[in-house]
Amino acid sequence: MDNMVITIIVGVVALAVGFFIAKALEKSSATAAIVGAKKEADRIIKEATSNGETLKKDKMLQAKEKFIELKSEHEKVINSREKKMNDAEKRTRDKESQVSSELARNKKLNAEIDNKKKNYDERLVFIDKKQSEVEKMHRSQIEQLEVISSLSAEDAKAQLMETLKEEAKTGAMAFVQNSIEEAKMTAQQEAKKIIITTIQRIGTEEAVENCISVFNLESDDVKGRIIGREGRNIRAIEAATGVEIIVDDTPEAIILSCFDSVRREVARLSLHKLVTDGRIHPARIEEIVKKTTKQIEEEIIEVGKRTVIDLGIHGLQPELIKAVGRMKYRSSYGQNLLQHSREVAKLCGVMASELGLNPKLAKRAGLLHDIGKVPETETEIPHAILGMQWAEKFGEKPEVCNAIGAHHDEIEMTSLLSPIVQVCDAISGARPGARRQVLDSYIQRLKDLEEIAFGFGGVNKAYAIQAGRELRVMVESEKVSDEKAAQLSFEISQKIQTDMTYPGQVKVTVIRETRAVNIAK
């Protein structure tokens, strides 16, 4: 126990002694650090003082350089301003000297003008004096002449004028008479020369439109299929197209007869499609005829476009192009209307060129002069007037419209194109074989037959067939009964007998058909 106490006491004493020793060492170390810090601070202060002096000297040197630079720039600006002021003063002095010279020159000019004005006034006075002297001498001479001739000046003047009038009149009449005689001699020769030259330069084929078309077959077996059971196919074709189909002993051919070439073409193309397809029955026939009719309408437009392009005519309205295309399927006195119009257009272009007129405008008038012959519906208006109305409606020039309307003298000619179109129309139609008067009257008779049928109620379609010996009339079953159909046939025949002149006899056939159509959905 005592040892433990002693040990504790010794440890405490040792601890105290160590504490005091550590404190003493710490104090000596702090003193050394303070001394080192003071030395370092003195060194830093000394170094900072040295750097500050150096920086101060540098800044002063830079300030001096900047001052010198600014001073130099300031001197440059001052010199520049002085130079500008000197230049301005110089220009001012030059202007002053120029103004002074101008003033001197103006003074000199004013002096010259004053001198010239003075001379001019003097000359005017002199001229007035001379003029008064001349007038005085002239009056004196007139008085002397009046005394010598025993006539006053007015009477002598009147006699002289009368004599001159008579001489001038006689000379003018002689000149006019000679000019008229010379014009008569040369005009006829020139006109013949122009017409002959025009005809020689235009060569076209003579085309005569017929009223029948021949449809060739590969074999006679096809005829039976076209006729159908109990003739139902051929009746369906005739009813849909309005064309009479003649099946006779002619080998491998059947004949399509109709005065309307559009109907004939529809029937021919429809037969070709039916024979090629092989399915020939009434429903198929109606379908093919409708498609072919639409195809013909498209072809009409295409023919019109090709025609105007070939002739170099631009800006024609679509309706007029369609009318031009329809002329392909029309005839005038047996002459194809489109070929006739193309020929007239070329003739007009050549003749207008020979006469120094506009050939393009002349071609346009020549091509359109007969468009009134192809209306979609029949009308009583003369074709020349109808064509003129169409041309005015679709914005053609007044010269073209007048040429169309006046080429048959329905209206007065107001432009030089009108007689040209009239002459070229006569040239085209007067060629040997170009036209047949009988065909036109025959076609008109067939049209009149159809028009009589359409004058009765309930008539849907009417076709004149067999060269006008038969009128086939299709009626609407809802409006016309079987008894009414028989009565209608009799009334139409009596109307034809009363109103028309025709050779032989005309058979009137009224067809009434009832259809029931439903659609399975």
* Sequential DSSP letters for 125-186: HHHHHHHHHHHHHHHHHHHHHHHHHT--HHHHHHHHHHHHHHHHHHHHHHHHHHHHHHHHHH
- With a CB cutoff of 8 Å and minimum separation 6, the contacts of 4 are none
Place of tokens 């040239």: 427
**HSE-up (13 A, CA, CB side) for residue 94:** 6
**Helices 417-429 & 359-368 angle (0-180, nearest 10):** 50
Q: How far is 311 from 145, CA to CA, in rounded Å?
A: 77
Can you say how many angstroms the Cα of residue 127 is from the centroid of all Cα atoms in its chain? 69
Which amino acid belongs to residue 334?
G
One-letter identity of residue 411: I
> Hey, what are 348's tokens?
């007009």
pLDDT score for 1: 58
* Helices 359-368 & 337-354 angle (0-180, nearest 10): 160
For residue 507, list its beta bridge partners. 470
Dihedral-angle region of residue 356 (phi above 0 means left; psi in -120 to 50 means alpha; beta otherwise):
left
Written as tens digits, the pLDDT of the chain (521 aa) is 566 777 788 777 777 777 777 777 777 777 777 877 788 878 888 888 888 788 888 888 888 888 888 888 888 888 888 888 888 888 888 888 888 888 888 888 888 888 888 888 888 888 888 888 888 887 777 777 666 766 666 776 777 677 777 777 667 766 766 776 666 667 666 666 666 666 655 544 433 345 666 777 777 777 777 878 888 888 888 888 888 888 776 777 888 887 777 788 888 888 888 888 888 888 888 888 898 888 888 888 898 899 888 888 888 888 888 888 888 877 766 678 888 888 889 889 888 888 888 888 989 988 888 888 888 776 778 888 888 998 898 888 899 999 999 888 888 888 888 888 888 888 877 655 555 545 566 777 888 888 898 888 889 889 888 767 788 999 988 888 888 888 889 889 888 888 887 766 788 999 988 777 787 87
Let me know: does 402 contact 417? Beta carbons within 8 Å: yes
The CB density around residue 329, as the number of other CB atoms within 10 Å, is 22
Contact 348, 362 (CB under 8 A): yes
CA–CA distance from 221 to each of 217, 253, 257 (Å)? 9, 11, 21
Task: Indicate the SS3 state at residue 451.
Answer: helix
Q: What are phi and psi of 412, to 5 degrees?
A: -75, 140
Tell me how far apart the alpha carbons of residues 226 and 219 are, in angstroms, rounded to a whole number.
12
Cα angle: 374, vertex 289, 338; to 5 degrees: 25
Q: Phi, psi (5° rounding) for residue 471?
A: -120, 115
Half-sphere exposure of 421 (CA within 13 A, CB side): 33
Q: So what's the pLDDT on residue 205?
A: 42
The pTM of this model reads 0.45
Contact 270, 292 (CB under 8 A): yes
**pLDDT score, position 402:** 92
Q: Residue 385 contacts by C-beta under 8 Å, 6 or more apart in sequence? A: 372, 405, 410, 411
Beta bridge partners of 511: 474
Confidence at residue 229, expressed as pLDDT on a 0 to 100 scale: 81
Between CA 499 and CA 217 the distance in angstroms is 41
Tokens of 417: 């194109």
Q: How far apart are CA 325 and CA 376, in angstroms?
A: 12
Q: Residue 315, by phi and psi: left (phi above 0), alpha (psi -120 to 50) or beta?
A: left
